[in-house]
């Protein structure tokens, strides 16, 4: 019996996974749960124009993510060696993980574009491991950063409001 691809939705607990980082270190989502909010973004390919633009936009806005106490994690099917070169060339300060067989992409239900290109999707996951926002757009890579920052700011306003109330 074939297993169905499940699509993660807002309000779901983010599925845990373990993948290799660019240094070969095993990194799991659970390593961040309870410590930070997470911006998990799936992108098609290291060094492609849109993916480079997206990664550099995350880099250029990295302080805004740190200010919101969030960790940025990028995932593609590229090898850890490709990620190491991509991160070095673009001075990326965040985690890149290698999902060579596409298992985590499938676990999250990230759709292909035109049935061929690996999709581009961003998940904002709160400190408790709950998906709070999903943005998917192959052709607006910079919008992923805007959406993530806006969502994190909203989450933090809600936290402040709850503390005060």
CB atoms within 10 A of CB 132: 19
**63, exposed or middle or buried, with CB in 10 Å at 0-12, 13-18, 19+?**
exposed
Sequence-distant (6+) residues with CB within 8 A of 43 are 51, 54, 55, 74, 75, 76, 118, 120, 141
119 near 112, Cβ under 8 Å?
Answer: yes
Annotated catalytic residue within 29, 51, 96, 134: 51
51 flagged as catalytic: yes
Which residues are part of the catalytic machinery?
51
């Amino acid at each position: 019996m074939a297993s169905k691809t499940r699509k993660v939705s807002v309000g779901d607990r983010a599925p845990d996974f373990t993948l290799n980082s660019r240094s070969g270190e095993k990194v799991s989502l659970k390593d961040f749960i309870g410590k930070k909010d997470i911006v998990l973004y799936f992108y098609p390919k290291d060094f492609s124009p849109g993916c480079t633009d997206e990664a550099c936009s995350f880099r250029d806005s990295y302080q805004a993510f740190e200010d919101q106490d969030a960790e940025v994690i990028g995932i593609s099917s590229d090898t850890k060696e490709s990620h190491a070169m991509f991160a070095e060339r673009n001075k990326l300060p965040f985690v890149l993980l290698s999902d060579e067989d596409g298992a985590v992409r499938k676990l999250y239900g990230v759709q292909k574009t035109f049935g061929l290109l690996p999709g581009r999707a961003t998940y904002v996951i709160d400190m408790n491991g709950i998906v709070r926002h999903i943005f998917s757009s192959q052709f607006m890579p910079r919008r992923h950063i805007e959406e993530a920052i806006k969502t994190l700011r909203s989450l933090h306003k809600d936290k402040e409001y709850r503390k005060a109330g």
